[in-house]
Amino acid sequence: MTDAHGPNAVDRLTRRPLSGLRILDLSRLLPGPFASMILADLGAAVDKVEDPSGGDYLRFMPPMVGDASKGTPMNAAFHALNRGKRSLVLDLKKREGQEALLRLAPRYDVLIESFRPGVMERLGLGFDRLRAASPGLVYCAITGFGQDGPAAQRAGHDIGYIARAGVLGLTGPESGPPQVPGVQMADMAGGALFAVSGILAALHARTTTGAGRFVDVSMCEGSMVLGAFGLMAALAGDGSHAQGAGALNGGIAPFGTYRTKDGRAMALGALEPKFWVAFCTGVGIEPGMDALMPGPHQETWKARLRDVFASKTFAEWVAFAEKVDCCLEPVLMPEEVPSDPQHVAREMFVAHDASGVTLPVPRTPIASEAATGPAPTQGRDTRAVLHDAGWSESEIDALIATGAAR
């Protein structure tokens, strides 16, 4: 991190604490780009390395956002995850591309990749070779199952990682197969958030040792520890938290979602007796304490609450939740989130230029602002990145002529 001086130095470092940090991101799709987006929002400079064919193909998936007369339309999530980053194209299957990456490495503090284990070694770009070129480099590999073990080479996606981690085994409903979560838990939390934690820990260690290190992130393992409450109950021999049967995964009426009279939904989380009593008093039913314990009697309680919630509209329940402190919140649709008063007050969304279209994007919650600048088109900054790293124009031209850069 670069030093800052002057009367506003503390404020600048507070707002952009990773200013001066440089990230080389070879990953694509969600986990790696989300991790480097967090680092970018905190002040790091991020350069994407993309292959000359598809590159980061999230860019081309629907829904596409952008005004073709003002820029290149790209995927909505791609715009958010890659804001403020630069893109260079290198063909790492070519010797010249490999040599270019080795020449770039000493300029960066962190490298992120999400290839299957062994791919970088086969390209001659494994951690040992990169560490020889840049001893202080923090190398973060995000994979489905980690660098070793019998599943290391298995193909997979988020649903498979959370299945193997036991997370889906804790997920209801009891009467059928587990429900697929609405967010990518393994990619975004199990992978990206642990990648950021590991990277920051390695950078802190480097301040003492001067040496970089290898950060091995398994999305499956990261997901596993997210299920600590139910997982540990099961490992302790308590089966009450099995699929959809526990207090926190759909097994009790006071902790669940319910349809309103007009077809919307509310989320009730009245786990503690005082909140359950407040809710029941507010709606005019007897607050039986047995409702807070799992068991067969829960079907009666759930049916009772379904009738209660079906008696009022969504707006009426929102008004009720404002008056009665009982852990009751509206289930917002995604398009409603940016205008929610809480998120507006916290300035959670920023206006982002998405190829000529203004798109609201959420900032990283622990960052006071979001990285600025549009997401890059593939290879938009190849010349700039190489020039910044000391390549002459003739060297850049020669590299491009080999087909190893574009």
Based on the residue annotation, tell me whether 157 is a catalytic residue of this protein.
yes
Q: In what order do the strands lie in the sheet with 265-269?
A: 255-259, 265-269, 328-330
d(CA 332, CA 185): 19
Nearest by Cα to 84 from 308, 404, 364:
364
Q: Is 387 exposed, middle or buried (0-12, 13-18, 19+ CB in 10 A)?
A: middle
Q: Catalytic: which of 157, 297, 343, 387?
A: 157
Give Cβ neighbours of residue 29 (< 8 Å, ≥ 6 apart).
56, 57, 58, 114, 187
Q: Catalytic: which of 51, 187, 241, 381?
A: 187
Based on the residue annotation, tell me whether 187 is a catalytic residue of this protein.
yes
- The interaxial angle of helices 219-226 and 228-235, nearest 10 deg, is 80
Q: Is 400 exposed, middle or buried (0-12, 13-18, 19+ CB in 10 A)?
A: middle
d(CA 159, CA 154): 13
Could you please report the per-residue DSSP string of 75-90? EHHHHHHTTT-EEEEB
User: Catalytic amino acids?
Assistant: 157, 187
